[in-house]
Each structure stands twice: as C-alpha cells, then as structure tokens.
Structure 1
Amino acid sequence: MKSPAITAFGEILYDVYPDGKRLGGAPFNFIYHVWKLSGKGILISSVGDDENGKEILNFLKSAGFNTDYIYIDKEHPTGTVNVELDANGIPRFTISPECSYDFLRLEANAKKLLEDETDLLYFGTLAQRSSASRNTLEEIFKIGSLKFFCDLNLRHDFFSKPLVEKSLEVSDVIKLNEEELLKVKSMFGYKGTEKDVIELLSREFDIDLICVTKGAEGALIFDGKDFDNYKSSPRKVVDTVGAGDAFSAILCIGYLKRIDIGKINRIANDFAADICGIEGAIPAGDQLYNKYRNKITEQ
C-alpha cells in the first residue's frame, strides 16, 4: 500500500529548557515523525523573521524536510515555550503569546497542496487560540476531500466548548489524554464510565477512531466497535516531551493504512515509550525510525 499523504497545520517553535532549546511544537513533532516513518509529511506553519526562525529553517532544509509551506512572518516572532521538568520528567509549559503561528493564512500553494495532494490533515488546539489561525483552519475544514485528525490538547485556557465541539464535528480521528477526556465529559455533561464517554463521542460526532492515552499506563483505542487497551513494558524515562506526538504519528499512519487497532496500539505505545528515553521530542539519528518504519510496513 502506498504511503499516505499527511499534512499538519499549526505551530513549530522552540522548547526552551534551562540548559538550552530544542525544536518542538506538537504539529511539527508529529509530522516530522510521519515524514521519517513514511517518507511523506508536510507542515503548514510560520516562523518569525528572526534568529530562531532562521535556525529552524536552516535545520529543516539541511535535514531534507520540505519547508515550502513554512512561511516567514515579518511582524511576529517565532514561537517559544519555556519547559520545566519535574523529578519524573513530566513537563510544565509556559507558552509565549502572539507568535508567528498565531497568524497563519491559507496561501495559494498550501490550498492546492490540501486539495490535490493530501489525504489527511492533522491539527490541534494551540494554533486555534488566535482568531486568525482559527479562521484559516475553518476555511480548510470546508475542503471536502480531506480526512481530519485532531490532537485535542486542552492546555491552559486556549480552548472553549465551541472550539472543542467544532474540532470533534470535523474529525475522523481524535487523540486525547485521560485528563482531557474528563474535561470533555464535564463540558458536554456526559455520564458513565470512561468507555461510555468514548462510545458517546464516537456516536454523537461520527468519529472513526478515538484514542485516550494514559501515560505510563498505556492507551485505550476505540474503532466504533471494539476497544483495545495496551501498556508498554517499562523503560527509563528521560523526559516525556513529545511522547503523545510520537503516539499520534503511528496512530495516524495506522489509521490510513487500515492496520488493526491492536497492532497500532502496540507499535504506538512502544514508539512513544522509546521517545521518552531521549532528550526532547525528536531523535538525533534515524536508528529509532528504522526500527519502527519496518514495524508499520509489515502487514
């Protein structure tokens, strides 16, 4: 089966740690993994006309990643997030306001890419905190040929019930964590167990695949008929930044390739666990990608 053509929309930024900065942003982390694993992956985003922006574009070009849809914003800075890790490697984020990714427009080449060369669009909630990027995304939602994958990152106060409702309405695949599922349950007044809420979401919003990640306890996937629960064997945790994005990459590829949810869950959990064993969200070399590329192509 040919590799699916996946495009991500949203932030690329620097995660700033006490000892330095690392490239990040959930849509970027996700699509970088997709690109390394499948050979295809495009990001629609923006960087500032500043030193951080130049560094990011130079790195991506040297890696061979397509930067044609990462635009230079001359008015707003490249995004940054201050990251503090607790004793267990769990991050706390402080997100800078009014960054370049808050002002994304649908340029003509990006619209053509989405209409003619994309099977699925990934999006999250952070890039929707601003009306400019949110309006652009709503324009993209009208493209009838696309499937949509939403990573429902309900962080800080960068979301509202209407935003969540719209994201659920358009999406074919949803990924969220246990805490976010509880927020959605409360937001919509749902009753019952975790599985009850997942089934309600699946029916009410006609969602093909719902995944709830549980950190070290693994993940639960529902495909409209069956549930699959899987937990990886323990590994040494360096930091958990980007683990969910790694999981999303496998989940998305597996969904488009129609891989059994049990297999998707195993591979995605194992990949996310291995990402927790490195510093930052992106592996320095291709060894890890080679291991998982083979796993998702073995049918």
Structure 2
Amino acid sequence: MKITSFGEVLWDDFPTGKKLGGAPLNVVTRLQSLGVDTSIISRIGDDEDGRTILKEVEQRKVPHTFIQTDPEQATSLVTVTLSDKGSASYEIVYPCAWDRIEATQEACERVAESDAFVFGSLATRDEVSRAALEKLLEHARFKIFDVNLRPPHYDYERIRHFLNKADVVKLNDCELYELAEAFGSPYHSLEQNIGFLVDNFDCRNLCITMGEHGAIFYDDGTFYYHGGYRVKVADTVGSGDNFLAGFIYKLMNNAPADETLSFACALGAMVASHHGANPEISLQDIQDFMYPA
C-alpha cells in the first residue's frame, strides 16, 4: 500500500514546548508506524525550525523527499491553546512555507503511483499551494479530503470545490453542521445533513467524527456507527488525524466498514489519552486496547 499526503508540516507551540505537527504529517506518521509506504508533499523554510523538522521526520521513518525548502517564507509555527478539558485551539500564521508548495514532476509521479492521496482544506488557503494541489489531484487514483475548518483560513466556495473532487470526505460533527447550513440545508439531524451533502456533492462516502461519542461512516447508502471508547483525555491534538490514519489503513486493506470504524475510533481515543499527536502505538497496542484480555 502506498499513501501520499499533501499540506502543512509545522511546529505546534504548546505552553510546555514545541511538538512536530500538521494534519497531513500526523496522518502519514501514523500510517508509516503501521507499516505503510508513505510520503508527504509539503514545504519548510530555510531556517533552524525547518531543518529540525527534517530530522524529526527522518527519525519517524517518514520519507521527506517531497518536503521542499522555501528561500523566503519561514517554517510554520502554530500557537496551541488547551482548554481545561484538553480541547485545542490554534493561532496559525499566514503566510508561511507550506503556502508555497509546488507540484513538481516527481511529486506528480508519486501521487500517480499511490493507492490514495490525502489532502486537507487548510493548505488550500493560498493560491500557490492551491494550484499545486489542483495539479496533483489530476494524477490521483483515490482522493481523501480531510476537512479542517480553521477560522479564518477557509471559505465555503473552496470547500465546495474540493468536496466535489473527493472520493472520501472526513470531517467532524461541528464542521458537518456548519457546512450543511452554509450550503442551504433545511435539516437538523446528523443523518439528514450527511444525506444533504451526499445529494449535493459528487461524493458517496463521508466519515463524521464526534469526539468522545465515536463516529459515523456513510458508505454509499449505508450508515455505520461506533459509540467510541472511553479514555481519560490528556489532549485532543492529533486525535482526529490518527482516527483518519486508522480509517485509511483499514479502508485501503478492504476491511468491513464496521471494523474500519472501530479501529479508527480506537486509535483516535488512544492518542487522545496521550499528550501530543504522535505517541508510540503499535498494531498490537491497538488490538490489546480494543480486545482487552
């Protein structure tokens, strides 16, 4: 299996210090730890923060062949604030290096040979990276859109455009309700609003995360539900990204939909019980968590 992601690599700046982050990087970092051939197309600055990112990415065994270096823009640094319950909010500087990603020939070739191409909404905020993404999508076999609505770094027409390009869309329940309302949905329930998006966009598969309450997967006409796993939350940073990694891992291995959802919920919960987005978790750890002796 080959999975390639596109978008931001950055430092999450917590009150306790900096941690490597960025949703596209978090997803492929977890997939790499599960034995998947991964790569990420991104951009860093020609600075110490950027050089340290390359070292850390290398330590995690994620290839950085397609992480470009920008001569002008700085490596992204995001200020993270945690609530009393561990929920995170983000202050994201614009512009930064990953706003200037280029679609090189080598990157296009990597996307073309990948089983799935994962991209998010945040890295579409600038026209340079957005144009690169458009070119890369032309080469993608299977497209997974990770919606991350980070005010003020999105607009609804851009979201609409990329919803229509995706084979699978992942978003959380708050994002679902926001988009459904923005696009004119008259409905109130999750299921009705999922149906509204499906009916109005060229996408037959939506996965909706609901935090501690689990997730819903709409798979071409059928709803699958998982109630989530109860854990003591350390922080929620990267939990959704790891959920998506688990979801992709099972989906691309042709697992049944309910198994895919259960595995993804378990991985998201396990990460929420640790600090940071990339704690060490093995396949065996996930199995032991899901099926305790």
TM bin (shorter chain): over 0.9
User: Equivalent of 2:87, from 76, 87, 90?
Assistant: 90
* Residue of structure 2 in register with 1:178 after alignment: 173
The Cα shift of 1:190 comes to 1.4
Q: Provide closer, same or farther for how the CA distance between residues 223 and 76 of structure 1 changes in structure 2, counting only shifts above 3 A.
A: same
* Residue of structure 2 in register with 1:99 after alignment: 96
User: Equivalent of 2:227, from 203, 228, 231?
Assistant: 231
Name the TM-score, length of structure 2 as normaliser: 0.94
* Residue of structure 2 in register with 1:196 after alignment: 192
**Aligned-pair identity (%):** 31
Contact kept? 1:267, 1:295, Cα under 8 Å: no
Q: Which amino acid aligns with 2:154?
A: F
User: Equivalent of 2:203, from 200, 207, 212?
Assistant: 207
Distance 1:267 1:228 in 2: 13
SS at match of 2:234: coil
Q: Which amino acid aligns with 1:149?
A: I
SS at match of 2:130: helix
* Residue of structure 2 in register with 1:39 after alignment: 36
Contact kept? 2:250, 2:263, Cα under 8 Å: no
Distance 2:235 2:17 in 1: 14
1:165 aligns with 2:160: yes
The Cα shift of 1:179 comes to 0.9
Can you give the 5+ residue segments of structure 1 that lack an aligned partner in the other structure? none
The Cα shift of 1:256 comes to 1.9
Distance 2:32 2:149 in 1: 25
Distance 2:10 2:283 in 1: 22
Can you give the 5+ residue segments of structure 2 that lack an aligned partner in the other structure? none
Distance 1:132 1:69 in 2: 16
Cα deviation 1:157-196 (Å, max 9, x = unaligned)? 2112221111111101101111111111112101223212
How many aligned positions are there? 289
Contact kept? 1:235, 1:274, Cα under 8 Å: yes
1:291 aligns with 2:285: yes
The alignment yields a C-alpha RMSD, in angstroms, of 1.8
1:29 aligns with 2:23: no
Distance 2:233 2:289 in 1: 22
SS at match of 1:58: helix
The Cα shift of 1:197 comes to 1.8
Cα deviation 1:103-159 (Å, max 9, x = unaligned)? 0001121111112x212110111111111001111112222x521101111110211
**Which segments of structure 1 move beyond 4 Å, counting only runs of 4 or more?**
293-296
* Residue of structure 2 in register with 1:114 after alignment: 111
Distance 2:101 2:154 in 1: 18
Q: Provide closer, same or farther for how the CA distance between residues 8 and 96 of structure 1 changes in structure 2, counting only shifts above 3 A.
A: same
* Residue of structure 1 in register with 2:6 after alignment: 9
Name the TM-score, length of structure 1 as normaliser: 0.92
Q: Which amino acid aligns with 1:259?
A: A
Contact kept? 1:14, 1:21, Cα under 8 Å: yes
* Residue of structure 1 in register with 2:240 after alignment: 244
Contact kept? 1:232, 1:269, Cα under 8 Å: yes
